[in-house]
Chains A and B, each alone.
Chain A
Amino acid sequence: MSALDNHETLTGAVPRMAPARLRLPEAVTGILLILPAIALLLALTCYPVLYGVWISFFNKHSFFPQQTFVGLDNYLFLLRDPQFWSAVWLGCVYSVSAIVLQIVLGVGAAVLLNEIFPGRNILRAVVIFPYVVPTVIAVILWKWLLNSQFGLVNYLIEQAGLVDQPISFMGKDWIMASLILVSVWQFFPFVVIGVLARLQTVPGELYEAAHVDGANAFQRFIHVTLPQLKSVLFVIVLLRSIWMFTKFDTPWLMIQGGGAETYIRTLPVYTYMRTFAYYEAGLGSAMAVVMFLALAVATACYFRIWQREENL
């Protein structure tokens, strides 16, 4: 330990030949280099978050500076607002189904892309592509494919004899399913990247041993692959849950240009509407705070459960 420290001070104290000049202590240089970034983080993310909490105690117009202190009224209003509870429910339906499907499809695709077959590297690149495409494009693209009059999907399922008349995918019965489909298409590559990276480090001997023991492909997946993926899936589920629960642009853009709006009005969409359509910045902020607290509590529980699992 002390040898290491000596080594560091030796090399840190730079050669005697260096011309004499003002030398800052190491720690000071380090702090000076990182200070601008920290200041920016505090000013542009931490401060707005705290300011948002502050606004949530006011009755505040989104555009005009007037504001009146109302204490917890915004929060009490939410408790009694049926639209808020509907948004919470729709948000949960949306995020939970989208997350489950993303994980299942993502893990499946990663396992597949870890096999050896011709064109594997090209497919690896293609699969990731939907993730880097702007949400606007992803949504419009699928709205065209799912179009009730001229959409290719409707044409194909009609030809296959699955339906008698075209399905209105943006109508009230189907829009949630369509939204989930678009989201899974857009975000499952995130799961693929993470899982595939981990799979590549799983030693092949494990599979050989399982093979010798007579395990079939499914058993090998359950008993060899899944335990190896446990920690990477922990992170993926956490990040994806946070991002799906707060996802705004995909549902919002689905509604544009004639979507059955109230059927996919998730919490982020409702927050946005309250703030930028009804100009109730105070109420909107209160919802943002609720979202933040809900996520913080869920994350804490998630970590707690994880630690207990680890200790067993």
Chain B
Amino acid sequence: MNRTFSLLSPHGQAVLIAALALLIFTAFPFAWMISTAFKESREIFVTPPTLWPRDFTTENLARLFEETRFLTYFRNSLVVSLSTVATTLLFSTPAAYSLTRFRFYGREKVAALILFTYMFAPIMIIIPFYVMVRYLGLTNTHAGLVMAYTAFCLPFNLWMLRTFFQSIPVEIEEAAMMDGASRLQAVIRVILPLALPGVVATGIFTFILAWNDYIFARVLLSADELKTLPVGIADLYNASVVDWGMIMAAGLLVIAPVAGVFVFIQKYLVAGWGAGGVKG
């Protein structure tokens, strides 16, 4: 290995060293989290620290399930995130289709409006939003939270889907309609299957945004049994003595679903970025 390395040009060596540094900077914190999650309580605090658990244990995970409401938080997060994806796509798919396939007065203005709302950060709308949700009697309900996420995700969702629909040639649909299909049939049988990867990718971005959100869930929910993972874990962390092993185990389980879908969305990230990408 050393031999091969020294055979490289100075440029090649510099590239490899920089790549290694970048890898450590981004990936090592995760490796450390995984390692801590599987260490025994005593081993977590030893000096010098052990890079990998000497006595591999799942007691941190067991404590997480037995002593906290982790599973409830997990279920809440899942319910809220999936409902957000369904609601957002229900509104944005027809809208994005319309933006790319029909001509009507104000179409460009609509696109500008979408970009404009895309710039609103949560902190700028959270106060009036909270007052509004309270007025509707939806505080402390998952419905109120789904409403907030839908509002927050809709602009980038529309923008991203619009790009995917634009990439499907109108001629395909016209050909189907020439063959006697109605527009609805053409859309269902021809366009949607073609747009499906884009719709799925957009859905996953929405899922991640809802799954990761802290501020809306913090403000709109107070009942412990309704909390989503980010808020639940922040509260676990704020408990008097921090149980690092358990917190790291929780972290591991929270990023697991994200890591799972990440493999799939990775190739869409660039497309998604071009289309406005994810907010944050």
Contacts and interface: CB of A to CB of B under 8 A. Distances in A.
Nearest to B44: A150
Nearest to A116: B15
21 contacts: A18-B180, A26-B103, A29-B183, A30-B103, A37-B91, A40-B91, A40-B150, A45-B152, A49-B124, A49-B128, A134-B230, A136-B237, A144-B244, A150-B244, A193-B277, A197-B270, A217-B11, A257-B237, A275-B127, A285-B127, A291-B124
A249 B252 CA distance: 20
Interface of B: 11-12, 15-16, 18-19, 22-23, 25-27, 29-30, 32-33, 36, 44-45, 47-49, 91-92, 94-95, 97-99, 101-105, 107, 110, 113-114, 117, 119-132, 134, 147-148, 150-152, 154-155, 158, 174, 177-178, 180, 182-183, 208, 211-212, 214-215, 219, 229-230, 233-234, 237-238, 242, 244, 247-248, 251, 254-255, 258-259, 262-263, 266, 269-270, 273-274, 277-280
A5 B92 CA distance: 28
B154 A115 contact: no
B258 A285 contact: no
Interface residues of A, number: 89
A207 interface: no
Nearest to A115: B15
Q: Which 3 A-B pairs rank lowest in CB-CB distance, beginning with the nearest?
A: A30-B102, A44-B151, A246-B121
Contacts of A36: 91, 94-95
B47 A127 contact: no
A242 B229 contact: no
Interface of B (DSSP majority class):
helix
B213 to A, nearest CB: 8
A52 interface: yes
A49 B212 contact: no
B122 A257 contact: no
A155 B50 CA distance: 11
Contacts of B262: 125, 129, 132
Given A40-B91, A144-B247, A275-B127, 14 more contacts: A33-B97, A44-B148, A49-B120, A62-B131, A129-B262, A130-B29, A132-B262, A134-B212, A248-B215, A249-B215, A252-B214, A256-B238, A271-B127, A284-B127
A271 B119 contact: no
A134 B255 contact: yes
